[in-house]
Amino acid sequence: MSSIVEVCLAGESVILDADRALIWQRRVLVADVHLDKASSFQRAGMAVPLGDEQRDLDRLAALAARHDAAEIIVLGDLVHAPPRPGSTTERVLLNWADAHRDLRLSVVLGNHDRDARERLAHWPLSWLDDDVTLGPFRLRHAPAPCPDPALFEIAGHLHPVVRLRDGNRDTARLSVFWQRPGGLVLPAFGSFTGGHPVAPAPGDRLHAVHGGSILSLPPRAA
Amino acid sequence: MPDAGPRIPAGALPAAVDRWLDARGWTLFPFQRTAIAAYLAGESGLVHSATGSGKTLAAILGPLCEALTTDPDASPSAQVLWITPLRALATDIAHNLRTVIEGVGLPWTVELRTGDTNSSARARQRRRLPSLLVTTPESLALLLSYPDTLRQLRGLRAVVVDEWHELLGNKRGVLLELGLARLRRLAPALRTWGLSATLGNTETALQVLLGPGRHGRLVASDLDRPVTIDTLIPASLERFPWGGHIGLKQLDAVADAIDEAGSTLVFCNTRFQAEAWYDALLRRRIDWVDRMALHHGSLDRDLRERVEVLLRDGSLKCVVATSSLDLGVDFTPVDQVIQIGGPKGIARLLQRAGRSGHGPGRRSRVRCAPSHALEMLEYAAARRAVAAGRIEPREPLRNCLDVLAQHLVTRVLGEPASAEDLLAEVRDCHAFATLSDAHWAWTLDFLTRGGPALKAYPEYQRLVVQDAVLRIASPALARRHRMGIGTITADAAIQVQWLGGGRIGHVEESFISRMKPGERFMFGGRVLELVRVRDMTAFVRRATSSKRAIPKWVGGRLPLSSELADGVLELCDAFAAGDTREPEVAALAPLLRVQRDWSALPGRDTLLVERIQTREGHHLFLYPFAGRLVHEGLSALVAWRIGQQQPATFTTAVNDYGFELLTADPLDVDEESLRRVLDPTGLADDALACINAGEMARRRFREIARIAGLVFQGFPGAGKSTRQIQASSGLVYDVLARHDADNRLLEQARREVLEQELEALRLTQVLERSRTQRIALTQPERLTPFAFPLWVDRIQTRLSTERWQDRVARMLGSLEKAAGAA
């Protein structure tokens, strides 16, 4: 198994990376990073440690380096909830941005980012409206019916996973890229994020990631 | 053991008690007098009996006699706490206790406090507790979290723990140990009494109940009646047994047996089996429709209560039940008990037998209907073990940090305390008597700072230290903690409800999560169709199609106990020596002969190993008779060790008697290599290497995370605000493993996997024993009677329903043909 697959979307050749990212024209697209989620748990009395913030930002930088990308676009839910000013998460992000000034970071507003544009206005990144057009692609947080059939939608929000059986009794839940006729849903990027099983229609393609590998599953028969 | 303790001479009881007993024509038994006298002398203790009744009276009369002599006209609050493990039993117990209390003329109030108690009753109880409160370990924990109830509990005189053996050995028992330690501090004059079935380690049971270093009185019931265990031996016995039909082949024999007796309890091992039997019996005897009922722990409380009332007043002919009716209340009218399938343990079978033939001088009788021919050996083995007085012990748990963390929060919610006081209180129970300073320090860190890695938990809050005293950090956290108390059971309960409203009961989340909308399942004697699952509720409607597709619902499959397994091997030895005195062995002779002629018989000194080749590939069957959990671990270990010598892909199947490894290519196996594979040296390392221990620990962590408050389940009406802080325990496990790898709860998950899921101790014993055993390595031409059920089990998990039944039927046909006429 390899760590990337190439697929053709809207006539464009794009790369799906096993680290849950899509690469197109020196851009890295990811969705649902959910930085600072552990802090929400901590405030609610649950001792879940921080640490995934640094790890996930490092993964983003590594993806950009590996694919020689200049921009990272997050399709919503960069943060789980806007971190407090001066919090560890904020410090980690600002340090990271400082170390990667050559990288542009753009974020489509997701449901978890609702107040982020105001509260995190000082973060060195650009907030994009939900639903922006980029070449043949329409970038959104939550997938929605597309008014323009010429555009191919790339979205997140759903945290798609699939349950696979290994022939014996074990089952595994794997994150997937869910490729449909008019759009693609990215797997959640954040390390501390869960998933929801998807019900692919006949003709849909699923690209499952596990460890450092990505595997395109055979299309389901009608 | 005879009790040489104080006894109340006849006539020395308060007159009101004597009058009440006389009016009923009752006389107290010596063991009841012993218990009452010991109580009045200020002692604590444990009353145990194998089957009998009268324990309730032995425990309650002490406190009542005391009240009658000191203050007979008062109805004071919080005199006695009565703790029962099953809230389904609480109603009956309260009813029985109320009858006694009214009978002796005390104006005491008796109330229930369980998870089912409504909020207005709970609020009233917080202001004023009744004289006697019947409650569960979880509801006791909740009571201990309120300062206003704590104040009332300071005057508590007695706490009675009913069915203590059901709590010993699990985390609910540990939670109760902590609760009892707390009660002992609140009420220094408190007397603690336990009621228990007889165990192999009754002394330990007493010690754990009272806390380390305390002395108490062990009172054995002299009511233990002789027990008859017999088997409904099928007229024609299959030589190639399999469990797929859950015993329904015995339907007619069981229905006839029910006909013969006035009233019958039919015990099944799983709810699935109970549902299927209820349905089948009703089809066979449609005229029983108004006099037959179903009882299992998933049914809604109202339904269960209705059944219990009908059972008590004798208007039911037959109740099909699971372990939900194993415990507690004595249903006087039951004439006989029928056990469907293997009992898996001696104590369990004895207890079920004890539900029949109540009353002095009457025998208890349990008739057993095998769902699988080999189970007949279990019945015979159980009968011999009972005759010899061999009963399984229950080992108490130690150092469960998850339960400790939950309790400490509860503890300081009720009353803030210093770390020193907390430690002293906690070490005053058996489960934490040996708690190390390091584990204690870690637990405090976990609660106050999240963990020792300070920078990983900057915004954590739960307990805070103020003026050297620990208290909860905020009222919101207090509320959430109380919501979480009682989530000791690992599986969340999903409410089952009609589409139009109306609750039917609850099932495990893991069961529902495997189903898709539109699928059918049997529940409460009806076939239901799942419509949708939302907010912890499964909405269902009556299934319209008559096709009876019932998904398998495992639930509560206990492994065969060591004691019973040894008994089964003993019977194999006896058969080999020509001894067929046990009727079950005689009935099984055709099967055992085929086994012996085609291969060999296992025995206490013989480990049987079979190599068989079929079109599917090369099978290796081992029969250590160590229970399914050990076989799961052992099969993985053997596969891994063989795989080290010879690369191969294995498919496995296990049951209580043995396991199967299937490979595409022949394995290089002889006695010498088997000895190497079964060498106990390096077991722990190899077990961890070969078994997917990481994944098992991750699953195990689910329960730990819930108990320790690392995940939040949400609660009815909490709505979306809590969704932000919900994550699966698996995710939390991964985050901890990445950023706080020394977390002791991860260590606990690994330890629980080894000790409980793999039964590492028993696994080691099996390997040690194999060193001294002869290995009988045979190469039968086809599947043997012992191999066949394993083969069926594997086929069944891999194929769709219709296909596996076809294949089983075909295989059965060819094996029977090969075995020739019986």
Other CB atoms closer than 10 Å to residue A151's CB: what's the count?
Answer: 18
Residues of chain B with pLDDT under 50: 1-4, 490-491, 546-556, 716-720, 822
Q: Which of B455, B712, B739 sits opposite A46 (nearest CB)?
A: B712
Q: Which of A44, A84, A169 sits opposite B725 (nearest CB)?
A: A44
Query: B366 has which bridge partners?
Result: B229, B337
Query: pTM score > 0.95 for this model?
Result: no
CA triple B800-B298-B327, angle to 5 deg: 120
Name the average pLDDT for chain A: 91
B795, closest residue in chain A (CA to CA): A168
- Torsion over CA: B456, B461, B463, B465 (sign): positive
3-state secondary structure of B154: coil
Residue A45 to residue B461, Cβ atoms within 8 A:
yes
Distance of CA B381 to the CA centre of its chain: 21
A42, closest residue in chain B (CA to CA): B460
Distance of CA B140 to the CA centre of its chain: 20
Nearest chain A Cα distance for residue B446, angstroms: 7
Q: How far is CA B473 from CA A210, B101, B479, in A?
A: 40, 43, 11
pLDDT at B255: 93
- Torsion over CA: B324, B328, B333, B336 (sign): positive
Nearest chain A Cα distance for residue B732, angstroms: 7
Amino acid at residue number B186 = L
Q: Which of B456, B477, B724 sits opposite A50 (nearest CB)?
A: B456
CA distance B399 to B402: 9
CA distance B65 to B80: 13
Nearest chain A Cα distance for residue B820, angstroms: 34
CA distance B646 to B667: 8
Which chain B residues touch A if contact means CB-CB below 8 Å?
A: 446, 450-451, 453, 455-462, 473, 477, 480-481, 651-652, 692, 709-712, 724-725, 727-728, 731-732, 734-736, 738-740, 797-798
Residue A48 to residue B734, Cβ atoms within 8 A:
no
- Per residue in A32-70, pLDDT (tens digit) is 999 999 999 999 999 999 999 999 999 999 999 999 999
- Per residue in A146-177, pLDDT (tens digit) is 778 889 999 999 999 998 765 444 467 889 99
Selected residue with higher pLDDT from B85 and A222: B85
CA distance B186 to B153: 7
- Per residue in B413-454, pLDDT (tens digit) is 999 999 999 999 999 999 999 999 999 999 999 999 998 877
Distance of CA B331 to the CA centre of its chain: 21
Q: Which is it for strands B217-220 and A71-74: parallel, antiparallel or unpaired?
A: unpaired
For A34, phi then psi, to 5°, come to 55, 50
Q: Which of B453, B725, B728 sits opposite A41 (nearest CB)?
A: B725
Residue A38 to residue B461, Cβ atoms within 8 A:
no
Are B459 and A89 contacting, i.e. CB atoms less than 8 angstroms apart? Answer: no
pLDDT at B556: 44
Q: Is the pLDDT of residue A111 over 60?
A: yes
Residue B724 to residue A80, Cβ atoms within 8 A:
yes
Eight-state DSSP code of residue B753 = I
Q: Transcribe B386-408 into DSSP letters.
A: HHHT-----PPP---HHHHHHHH
For A27, phi then psi, to 5°, come to -120, 140
Residue B652 to residue A167, Cβ atoms within 8 A:
no
Q: What was the ipTM of the complex prediction? A: 0.91
A163, closest residue in chain B (CA to CA): B514
Q: Which of A40, A48, A52, A175 to mutate to test the interface with B (most CBs of B within 10 A)?
A: A48
pLDDT at B14: 93
Calculate mean pLDDT across residues A91-110: 95
Nearest chain B Cα distance for residue A38, angstroms: 9
Give me B422's structure tokens.
């907390």
Residues of A in contact with B704 (CB under 8 A): none
pLDDT at B107: 97
- Torsion over CA: B504, B510, B511, B515 (sign): positive
Q: Which of B410, B457, B649, B794 to mutate to test the interface with A (most CBs of A within 10 A)?
A: B457
pLDDT at B411: 97
Helix axes B693-708, B744-752, angle to 10 degrees: 120
Q: Which residues of B10-24 are buried (b: 16+ CB within 10 A; e: fewer)?
A: eeebbebbeebbeee
- Per residue in A63-80, pLDDT (tens digit) is 999 999 999 999 999 999
CA distance B183 to B160: 12
Q: Which of A46, A77, A87, A89 to mutate to test the interface with B (most CBs of B within 10 A)?
A: A46
pLDDT at B194: 97
Residues of A in contact with B444 (CB under 8 A): none
Residue A47 to residue B798, Cβ atoms within 8 A:
no
Length of chain B: 822
CA distance B446 to B747: 14
CA distance A90 to A85: 7
Residue B451 to residue A52, Cβ atoms within 8 A:
no
CA distance B54 to B100: 12
CA distance B96 to B59: 13
Distance of CA B757 to the CA centre of its chain: 14
Nearest chain B Cα distance for residue A42, angstroms: 4
Distance of CA A133 to the CA centre of its chain: 17
Q: Transcribe B556-589 into DSSP letters.
A: --PPPPHHHHHHHHHHHHHHHTT---SHHHHHHH
3-state secondary structure of A96: helix
- Per residue in A24-33, pLDDT (tens digit) is 999 999 999 9
CA triple B571-B577-B582, angle to 5 deg: 40
pLDDT at B361: 59
